[in-house]
A and B are shown apart, each in its own frame.
Chain A
């Protein structure tokens, strides 16, 4: 296995945490450069578009997006496939420098606050138009700032807890629905050869920080978005409970790959792992029916089960290399709103993902049965969309 769409979760989770922690006292800049208004659309367009993607790990994805681009009749679209794990940094510095700026690009959970406030991206509200209702509302809300839509969701991903049915049965423990159950189960199944639960080589805090908020019954922000929403004793109890888990020895703190890769679970290094829906296919190949999926268990008396989900969003640059904003908007609408067959192909043929338009979910075979279908159910019942800087910085 290798890295994939999963990267945005790591970055977005860290970003969300950092944003939450610094929300009330963050340096909001105040430097006035650039413009927040969109330039005149396609004033001197060249008939070409440059589109950026980050490196997707699943084989065939690059060829697929190049096929999609070639099928667009409105412009000659060149796809740039950016290798490595620092896509968002590369994107941010490119937009800042103004050299080689892509006309269309994907961005983790939509445009960042910097991109919007510095006028680096254009408003796509009119592009989505009446199609707003076709998208999953929480996902589209994540790409909306001050009532305007700044990105069109491409595909939805989520994280969940995978467990080995046979291992838990042998230890006579039930699939955990509460955090106390998870700790008990991890202790029961742990052996010299196999860890109990794995959520990252940093002990899991990086990816689970937000889960500790949501699963203990809170949100990152309070109801009117005027402050933090989780500074309560139950949350501190959750953090303490996780620390005790970390020190218990039942939490596997070191594995061959990190949380976003299903390899530790596939290799039998752990009986339970927190990873992404994208790993489902590889896990199914290895374990067949001998695995199940769960949301993150509830913590404490006011807790609830939760799963995070989010999406890459397609943005149009205000000052792209080809200065073709109108065509860039057309392309985004064509590919990520109208071309439903390509969207299903993108979600279903390379790893396991959820189409951003709920009406297309039934066409995605990987999530229409078994664990994939369960995952879709979690998203509906226990999903919390990753909320990051856009939500936090205007406090």
Chain B
């Protein structure tokens, strides 16, 4: 009811001129799709997503894997450290975004980060104002803090699936350190890594909360740092305009892109099996 009906309804609306109505009558065919795919603002929002994904996906994966490997070798207090790194996952994106905005990355001279910079002799930075690209630091660091613990747990589960005798055999053959990681751990983690990377990519596609809550002001949103969902939200519901046809078409386009990525991931994961066959 709450999944399939909205999806089908969005698809239906995407073929209509559905301004301020959910029961449109004016069929426009692919006009909404054509508009979005030639709209520089929508295409820019896709570029924003790519920039965001380029930063956040590998960074989160590497940090999560590093934490997972580090904790895998911790003997005592393993549960404690797992909990410590996992706790941020329980925090709301909205709450975290407000803290990041009002405290850490506040643009005032007495903002936390600016105070640190000042104490080190640097000029204060306009973090979120759009006069530079420093807002990416705030956006990426927030998502990294929130999700690294969750993916760390997934990767720990993947590590636990690797048979210990594989490592023992490798140790007998003299493999350790980087060679052990390169030739045993990473290949054995292939399926888990693919799932993690796919989830990270979809998560980046769905980015909304931290962008909207960190950058919007007084009911308005600045022209920069608009990922696809923020752009579509502003088109279909932002302010008092309600172009649900365009919004529906945009969500269908995003869904299609995610499906393509999903198929690509599936192809990548099953590639070794196909080779063996």
Residues of A within 8 A of B (CB): 3, 6-11, 13-15, 18, 27-34, 85-86, 88-89, 92-93, 96-97, 108, 112, 114-115, 117-118, 193, 200-203, 206, 246, 253-256, 258-260, 264, 267, 269, 389
Contact = CB atoms under 8 A, between A and B. Distances in A.
B18 A7 contact: no
Contacts of A259: 218
13 contacts: A7-B219, A27-B243, A31-B20, A31-B26, A32-B25, A96-B22, A114-B20, A115-B240, A203-B129, A203-B131, A206-B217, A254-B128, A256-B111
Given A31-B25, A33-B23, A264-B108, A11 B242 contact: no
Contacts of B111: 256
Contacts of A264: 108
Given A92-B237, A118-B21, 9 more contacts: A6-B218, A10-B218, A10-B220, A27-B243, A31-B17, A33-B21, A85-B216, A96-B21, A267-B108
B37 to A, nearest CB: 16
B203 to A, nearest CB: 23
A88 B109 contact: no
Contacts of B219: 7-8, 10-11, 14, 85-86, 88
B239 A34 contact: no
Given A9-B218, A86-B219, A203-B131, A30 B26 contact: yes
Contacts of A6: 218
Chain B, interface size category, equals: 35 or more
A282 B48 CA distance: 39
B19 interface: yes
A202 B217 contact: yes
Given A89-B238, A255-B107, A260 B127 contact: no
Contacts of A269: 108-109
A29 B17 contact: yes
Contacts of A93: 237, 242
Contacts of A15: 239-240
If over half of A's interface residues share one DSSP class (helix, strand or loop), that class is named, otherwise mixed; here it is: loop
Question: What 9 pairs across the A-B complex have the smallest Cβ distances?
Answer: A10-B218, A254-B107, A11-B219, A29-B19, A256-B108, A254-B126, A14-B220, A112-B240, A114-B20
Interface of B: 16-26, 106-111, 124-131, 216-220, 222, 237-243
A206 B22 contact: no
A259 B129 CA distance: 12
A203 B25 contact: no
B154 to A, nearest CB: 33
B19 A31 contact: yes
Nearest to B114: A254
Contacts of B243: 27
Nearest to A15: B239
B240 A255 contact: no
A33 B24 contact: yes
A254 B218 contact: no
Given A96-B20, A201-B128, A203-B131, A3 B239 contact: no
B133 to A, nearest CB: 14
Contacts of B22: 96-97
A85 B20 contact: no
A114 B240 contact: yes
Contacts of B124: 254
Contacts of A30: 17, 19, 26
A60 B131 CA distance: 38
B148 to A, nearest CB: 28
A201 B214 CA distance: 12
Q: Which of B20, B21, B242, B243 has the most CB of A within 10 A?
A: B20
Contact of B220 (A29, A33, A206): A206
A387 to B, nearest CB: 14
